[in-house]
Structure 1
Amino acid sequence: MQRSRTASDGRRDGELSLRLLGDRPWVQLAIGVPLGLLAASVAGITQVGIAYGLQGAQSWEEALSTPWPGQPIGMVFQVAAAILVMWLVATRIAGRPVYELERPGAMRELAYGGIVGAGIVTITILLLLAVGAYEITDVTVGRGLVTGLLLGLGSAFGEEVVMRGILLRVLLGKLGTTAALAITSLMFGLLHLGNPHSSLLGAVGIAIQAGLLFGAAYLLTRRLWLAIGIHAAWNFTQTAIFGLNVSGVPTEPGLLVAHLQGPEWLSGGEVGIEGSIVTIAVGLIVSLVMLRAAIAKKSPASSS
């Protein structure tokens, strides 16, 4: 009885993978990944353009360190661009509906994701606070809350569409779960090496804690809403609440005015807590729990 159910579950999962894969998978990658990466860069392009054109920035570093108002404006454009790319790849190349962004159940998955993302960051901050690696110097209420929200949503939509909605989905159908997760996690970490204040430890940390976590969220639901919720809350909580850089990117001051201190392997340094061994450990634990849940959902064991 157990063997029969397992075989049936395997067939259903295979049918699901084929349905989500759609037509012309390699064309989806060849066209969708470059377009997705471009969409994920819209916010940065907008910020730099506004800083140079309207705010008198004289260098790339100065433009990147001027987040208002270009960063939040760019994030709005980035969400729209990412959704457009997902729609184009799914409907015009894969020849199927945009299952990844279906609305039924979206708010529930976003909310669950928000709890997970905010929880990981909060636990990490509390641990860093306990060992003296995170210090609060002031509390302020300003536009950083709005900027942090838009940064969270813009980054989440832009990066999740290309990395999980296109790349991971196609590689799952063609290479299997292990290879697909490994490749997309590695690429996710490498992409962040281009950020300001990037480091090898930070890139490795992002690959392990975030790339694996967001991939597990996709595997669990075969949609993007849970991953987007985790990703958005992850960024929002770091910036708008705890006042820190995200992946080395400077942002507006958050609710708490604070700074990281101590050795970079512990605090993360200028990269932010994503470069901290503490975040890597907490994120990895949650990722493994979510992966286990995804595997259990894929092949539930029978009691008889």
Structure 2
Amino acid sequence: MITVIGESLVDIITDPRRPQEVQAHAGGSPLNVAVGAARLGLAANLVTHYADDRYGLMIEEHLLANGVTVLRGGSAPTSTATATLNPDGAATYAFDIGWDINGASLPALAAVEGSVHVHTGSIAAVLAPGDQATLALVKAARQHATISYDPNCRPGISPDAAAARSQAELFVAASDVVKASDEDLAWLYPDRSPEESLLAWLDLGPSIAALTRGADGPVLLTRQLRVELAAEAVTVADTVGAGDSFMAGLISGLAQLDALGAPARSRLRDITEGELHALAAYANRAAAITCSRPGANPPTSAELGSLTGSLTASEG
């Protein structure tokens, strides 16, 4: 069992290449990670908020259809994000969002204490009042679970970079695996390179740090190792949800390596170069499949295969 903590929302997608088509999809980075993990065979909880309105029902149908167990708090209307696609398929966002899981604290605590891994990030880690509840759940989970975190920065939601940086570092220090995009790190730490920022994050406590760089491919770092891969060649429909699929791939890959759960922290710290390479390839492939089709539509385990194939290739 894994538990993801964070926002659910509806992505309203407009594409200047097809202006007559406006699409609405259930989304939100944590929701996408939970769905991606469930499609890759993990039993996934999502601690989140949405209302009993039209968009909330869309989210609930999507989660239930993908086998995600929902623990829902808060009372605000369902959040939305309007994504406008650029000609290259990349998205820019405008938000109407709130984040509060009041009322779900006890079932959420039970969920994280019963999980081998807990993931959070994005808006849930910075937007009051739910950010403090999210951090408290992560800290409570550490005794039983490994932790992962992706800041997935949204300057439109949290425009104060210094405050976002301080908040991010609280979550990094509580995490075993961190993942960030080059855009996230350029905004949080404009005076140093993304890899320098990830190395500094490793000094705060995590065992693995992953950098996604869009078409330039990912880099995975530990204190001893560095693995860099080219992005897989695909025809890009759009990039919505690609980083979340990468994150779900990392979690699934680590599960296949028996590297999740508090007792596995030493296993995570001692990951080999071949295993790290296989993990990067597996997550990279998950992101590529998502980019090849519209919206946040992560792959299933049947589409992605197992980490074993990537591990065999890396060792060969």
Q: Relative contact order, CA 8 A, sep 6+: which one is greater? A: 1
TM-score (norm 2): 0.26
| Structure 1 or 2: more strand by fraction | 2
| Structure 1 or 2: more helix by fraction | 1
Bigger Cα Rg: 1
